[in-house]
């Protein structure tokens, strides 16, 4: 296996991880929205924020195709909006 192939595999793994973390964040937000226990709600929202932050830190190190970048940006808009909505109380 060449070095370039290893880089491509590494990049693909990072790309898949970014998409999985966005989905994880959305799932955690859904759990937060359905719990009646305030402590659990806050914990799930904190964890969702950490998943979002993880992706935001990861993106600059990933070589995304234009379509991948567009999809990931759209997917990140939803948790960002949902997390901002709770913070502002809107």
Q: What is the Cα–Cα distance from 38 to 55, expressed in whole angstroms? A: 26
Q: What is the Cα–Cα distance from 69 to 88, expressed in whole angstroms? A: 28
pLDDT of residue 90: 37
End-to-end CA distance of the chain: 52
pLDDT of residue 86: 56
Q: What is the Cα–Cα distance from 63 to 69, expressed in whole angstroms? A: 9
CA distance to 19, 53, 60, 79, per residue, from 33 (Å)? 21, 20, 30, 12
Q: Model confidence over 56-66: pLDDT tens digits?
A: 999 999 999 99
Q: What is the pTM of this model?
A: 0.83
pLDDT of residue 84: 82
pLDDT of residue 87: 47
Q: Model confidence over 66-79: pLDDT tens digits?
A: 999 999 999 999 88
Per run of 10 residues, the mean pLDDT along the chain (length 90 residues) is 94 96 95 95 95 94 95 91 63
What is the DSSP secondary-structure string of 32-69? HHH-S-HHHHHHHHHHHHHHHHHHHHHGGGS---HHHH
């Amino acid at each position: 296996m060449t070095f370039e192939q290893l880089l491509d595999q590494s990049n693909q793994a990072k790309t898949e991880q970014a998409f999985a973390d966005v989905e994880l964040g959305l799932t955690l937000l859904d759990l937060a929205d359905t719990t009646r226990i305030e402590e659990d709600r806050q914990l799930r929202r904190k964890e969702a924020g950490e998943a979002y932050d993880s992706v935001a830190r990861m993106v600059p190190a990933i070589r995304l195709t234009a379509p991948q970048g567009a999809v990931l940006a759209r997917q990140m808009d939803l948790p960002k909006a949902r997390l901002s909505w709770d913070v502002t109380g809107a």
